[in-house]
């Protein structure tokens, strides 16, 4: 069994808990997720199965849409409501107009500092491990993009909004940053991932009580995942070259392709073999399926 299944992760379990459940249900080892959702978060969690695991990184790189709620007036060590409160603030002077202006000001690309309680590695060790040991560590900012923020609802001290963002964005950090910009504190109180790439929460399936047939009936093939890419059918000559890892420079092939554009590649005998691209040096498979 190979492909991706769109799971609706509930609150209270880890992303790896979902992976464990799928592994046990299918009695398979090659299962992985495409981007961690914190235990308190819920929503879309695409799970890669079999050869689908080869494409996890590509799927993780897609844009995400979240529905978030945050609370003004405090800061916690985890940047969410479940952490230990480290500082409190008076928020009675903050107006709805101020909040909306500040929230919308984050529609931009900026260097975001991840929370200390995160799975990012520094010197081979995850940040949350440093935090649990009480050790200080320098956390470098990472360039992320907030493409859009919409459906902003303000009921001070609570703020709700939908956010479309790039890979690597921490919504907990966004909530902290919004609070900071208001000269206040901000913690995330709830988070739902509505969309990850082509996967929508409306089309996701519940993990509770999931059975093998549920997965069989809902698994999406890798070909379908990348159906937006143009199809490239190789003849016998080019199929053999590409299959052997050769970078093809023959103009009989390269002249028909656009540079730096990905294609779904099909062998003349074996069918779908992966994703390919024409670069400066020629055409090659950059993500192999078979």
**Sequence-ordered alpha helix ranges (H) in 145-284:** 171-181, 212-218, 222-225, 236-243, 251-254
Classify residue 211 by burial, with Cβ atoms within 10 Å: 0-12, 13-18, 19+.
exposed
Query: What six digits make up the tokens of 30?
Result: 């090659």
Q: How far apart are CA 105 and CA 107, in angstroms?
A: 6
SS3 of 111-152: the string is EECCCCCCCCEECCEEHHHHHHCCCCCCCCCEEEEEEEEEEE
> Catalytic positions, please?
38
Q: How far apart are CA 281 and CA 247, in angstroms?
A: 7
The tokens 């494409």 sit on which residue? Answer: 55
């Amino acid at each position: 069994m190979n492909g991706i299944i769109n799971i609706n992760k509930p609150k209270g379990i880890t992303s790896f808990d979902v992976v464990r459940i799928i592994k046990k249900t299918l009695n398979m080892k090659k299962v992985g997720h495409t981007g961690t959702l914190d235990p308190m978060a819920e929503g879309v969690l695409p799970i890669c199965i079999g050869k689908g695991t080869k494409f996890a990184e590509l799927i993780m790189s897609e844009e995400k849409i979240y529905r978030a709620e945050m609370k003004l007036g405090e800061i916690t060590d985890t940047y969410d409501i479940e952490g230990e409160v480290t500082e409190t603030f008076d928020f009675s002077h903050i107006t709805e107009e101020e909040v909306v202006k500040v929230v919308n000001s984050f529609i931009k690309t900026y260097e975001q500092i991840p929370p200390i309680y995160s799975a990012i590695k520094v010197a081979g060790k995850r940040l949350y491990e440093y935090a649990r040991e009480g050790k200080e560590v320098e956390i470098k900012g990472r360039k992320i993009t907030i493409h859009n923020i919409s459906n902003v609802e303000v009921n001070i001290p609570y703020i709700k909004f939908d956010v479309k963002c790039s890979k690597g964005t921490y919504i907990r950090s966004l909530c902290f940053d919004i609070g900071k910009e208001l000269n206040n504190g901000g913690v995330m109180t709830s988070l739902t991932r509505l969309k990850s790439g082509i996967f929508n929460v409306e089309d996701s399936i519940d993990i509770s009580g999931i059975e093998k047939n549920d997965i069989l009936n809902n698994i999406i093939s890798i070909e379908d995942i990348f159906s937006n890419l143009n199809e490239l059918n190789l003849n016998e000559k080019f199929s053999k070259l590409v299959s052997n890892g050769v970078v093809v420079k023959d103009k009989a092939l390269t002249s028909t392709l656009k540079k730096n554009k990905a294609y779904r590649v099909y062998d003349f005998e074996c069918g779908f073999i992966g994703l390919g691209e024409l670069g400066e040096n020629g055409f090659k498979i950059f993500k192999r399926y078979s």
